[in-house]
Amino acid sequence: MEMIKKGTTIQSLEVGMGIVDSIAKQGRPLKFSEIQELTQITKSNLYKYLNTFTQLGLLFRYKDTGEYVLGSKLIEYGMAAVDQENVIDRISPYLHEINDKFSSTVLFSSWTHNGPMIIKDYNKNRGINIGAQIGTILPIRSASGKVFMAYMEEQMIREWKEKEFMQIPLEKLSQLEAECKIIREKEIAFAREPLVPSVSSVSIPVLNYQRKLLGSITVVGFSETIPQDENNELSQFLLSISKELSAGFGFKK
C-alpha cells in the first residue's frame, strides 16, 4: 500500500472516518454514549460529526431510539465498488511487475467447482513449456493448489481434495496437511517440480476483507530460479505484493 506523507492528509476526515469505522465494526445500532465511549471524542465534536454524516446519508439515526447505523449512501458506495471491481484488472499490473523483475511465467488462478483454474498468465519472454495454460485445473500438490487447500473453506474444496488425495501416496497426505498450516502462517507456498520435470513454482494468496481467498499468484520457472523458502529475494518480493494486493481488497491481519 502506498505510504502517504505526514501532513498531506485532512485530520478531521480521518477522525470522521474513524467514527464510521467504529460503528461498522460493532455490527449493531449504537447509542450516542456508546459511540462516544468507543471514539473518546468530545461530545460537542461528536454531535457535529454524527449530524453531518446523517445529513449526507453515511449514517442513519433511528428517531425512536436515537441509535445510529450505517446509512444507505455507504451501501450505495459498496455496491458500486463491487460492480466495478474486476479482480483480474487490478491484479494484472502486478503480474507484469513480477515478470519484469524475475523473467518467469506468472499465473493468476481462481476457484472453480472443479478446482483452482488458471485464468490469467503473463510471460513476455515465451519459450518455456510449464505444462499449464489458461483453463488448466491445478493439482493440489502445485504451489497454487496448496494455497487453495490452505485458505479455502473445507466444504467448498472437499470433493476436489478427495479426488486429488486418491492420487497421492498415504505417507504424503499428512505431510501435505502439515504444510498447509505453515502456508497459513507464512502466507507463501512452494512446490518442487509438481507438473513438469525441472520446473518448480512459488505461490501467494490474494485475500479480501473477509479473509476469503480471491485467488493465487504463482511464479513458475526452472527449478534453479524458483525459491524453496521465504527468505529468498523473490519470496520477499512476492510477500510484499500479497500484502499490498490483499490490503487493497480490504484485508487486515
Per-residue pLDDT for 141 more than 60? yes
Place 104 in a pLDDT band, splitting at 50, 70 and 90: confident
- Which residues are CB-neighbours of 113 under 8 A, at least 6 positions away? none
pLDDT at 170: 82
pTM above 0.85, yes or no: no
pLDDT at 49: 96
pLDDT at 6: 64
